[in-house]
Amino acid sequence: MNRFLKSSSVLALSLTFSASAVAEMLTEIGPGEGQVNIVAWPGYIERGETDKKFDWVTKFEEATACKVNIKTANTSDEMVALMNEGGFDLVTASGDASLRLVAGKRVQPVNVDLVPSWSAVDDRLKNAPWHTVDGIHYGVPYMWGPNVLMYNTEVFKEPPTSWRVVFEETTLSDGKTNAGRVQAYDGPIHVADAAQYLMHHKPELEIKSPYELNEDQYQVALELLRQQRKLVGRYWHDAFIQIDDFKNEGVVASGSWPFQVNLLKADGQPISSVIPEEGATGWADTTMMHVDAANPNCAYLWMEHTLSSNLQSDLSVWFGANPSVPAACTDGRGMQTAEGCTANGMDDFEKIRFWTTPVSDCESQDACVPYYRWVSDYVGVIGGR
């Protein structure tokens, strides 16, 4: 759990931004340096090693002579910690990490004029607040999607309609309790999932955003998480370990990503997913450049490459998420189709509450519990305190 505490050091009671956080942007792209070092979510950067059909690295390396080196990170807090340590050029940061990286001066502004495919980016993402500060872009959008409820179809004869199956003890359709058979996400941002559940089931709390909780609302969310602790067999942060748990360890329900759902289905496992009645939190990820990137030219070449519609299309199919370039759904250059994008939730953008960093100076009420509290208290929840 130390990775949570370490990565929260860039936060105090709120995020602060200043002109001093703005580094010099590149004005032109020079020769590639020979490599680019990227921190990425599992499954985000494929070179055909998992499935030969999915490879968007090899041709890039051949075309640019920039070797792609990948460091996989399983949580946003791990990503922030790695970027704080340095040695990387790029990171695929979710919204609960991106503003911390900006406030901590770990990433630099991106000159979108050097990314020709910027014009093809979804207008809903171009100025998104998780990567745009005071009109300055600190990255280019990569992929977005919901946190889904993954379940075993042999246990759930009908799709579960509520997140209740992972938050409260209940008897499942196979006649057995859910205790010990469910999982929860191993990250402080999971507090938001509890808050979203409470928004639906305890409207008297008047929660307006799952990322903006006053002290009373926050304490109720923590109590729900302590209740959940009695049910959870494992807190997951490694996608492949979660896949194994569903295959071999009797896990039947958990919050998850479409990535795990797709791989389990492809393996013939009785798995499906749903967005329950309470809705879902979600992630919108941005490729951001380290403030001290050693390979900025290769980094800019990679950012442009990631916005090609064929890469976005294939990544969308592989991860079960939504491309940041809408043309990837329809232009036929990759595997994705308009129907596939619709199934992945391309039209549900406004329904998803995207991960963002909780701050004390919040919009929905006078004061909110900031992220450093989420970090320390979630460690306590998982530890049984």
- Overall number of domains in the chain: 2
CA atoms of 89 and 86, how far apart (whole Å) = 8
Q: Does residue 9 surpass a pLDDT of 70?
A: no
Whether residue 154 is found in the same domain as residue 213: yes
Structural domain boundaries, residue 121: 2-145+282-354
For residue range 40-84, list pLDDT tens digits in order: 999 999 999 989 999 999 999 999 999 999 999 988 999 999 999
Stated as kind and residue range, the H or E segment containing 384 is none
Q: Does residue 89 surpass a pLDDT of 80?
A: yes
Whether residue 133 is found in the same domain as residue 188: no
Percent of the chain predicted with pLDDT > 70: 94
Whether residue 198 is found in the same domain as residue 231: yes
| Better pLDDT: 16 or 145 | 145
Question: What's the N-to-C CA distance of the chain in angstroms?
Answer: 14
For residue range 244-270, list pLDDT tens digits in order: 999 999 999 999 998 899 899 999 999
Whether residue 74 is found in the same domain as residue 195: no
pLDDT of residue 137: 96
| 150 pLDDT tier (thresholds 50, 70, 90) | very high
Whether residue 160 is found in the same domain as residue 226: yes
| Range 349-373 average pLDDT | 92
Whether residue 275 is found in the same domain as residue 286: no
Average the pLDDT over each of 13-17, 214-218, 350-354 and give the range with the smallest value: 13-17
The DSSP-derived string for 327-373 is GGGTSSSSS--HHHHHHHTTT-GGGEEE-----SS-SSSS----HHH
Q: What is the largest CA-CA distance in the chain?
A: 64
| Range 94-100 average pLDDT | 92
Whether residue 262 is found in the same domain as residue 334: no
* Cα-only R_g, the chain: 20
Q: Provide the CATH number for the domain around residue 378.
A: 3.40.190.10
Whether residue 117 is found in the same domain as residue 150: no
For residue range 176-210, list pLDDT tens digits in order: 999 999 999 999 999 999 999 999 999 999 999 99
For residue range 121-144, list pLDDT tens digits in order: 999 999 999 999 999 999 999 999
For residue range 310-354, list pLDDT tens digits in order: 999 999 999 889 999 999 999 999 999 999 999 888 988 988 999
Pairing of strands 271-274, 148-152: antiparallel
Whether residue 267 is found in the same domain as residue 312: no
pLDDT of residue 15: 53
Q: Which of 44, 354, 79, 29 is nearest to 196 (CA)?
A: 354
CA atoms of 145 and 316, how far apart (whole Å) = 10
| Range 363-371 average pLDDT | 93
The model's pTM is 0.84
pLDDT of residue 7: 38
pLDDT of residue 6: 38
pLDDT of residue 23: 55
Whether residue 82 is found in the same domain as residue 122: yes
Mean pLDDT over the full length of the chain: 92
| Better pLDDT: 224 or 11 | 224
Cβ–Cβ under 8 Å, residues 329 and 346: yes
Half-sphere exposure of 169 (CA within 13 A, CB side): 10
For residue range 266-292, list pLDDT tens digits in order: 999 999 999 999 999 999 999 999 999
CA atoms of 310 and 196, how far apart (whole Å) = 35
Q: Which of 232, 222, 179 is nearest to 380 (CA)?
A: 222
Whether residue 133 is found in the same domain as residue 256: no
Whether residue 177 is found in the same domain as residue 248: yes
Q: Does residue 5 surpass a pLDDT of 80?
A: no
Cβ–Cβ under 8 Å, residues 84 and 8: no
pLDDT of residue 26: 86
pLDDT of residue 348: 86
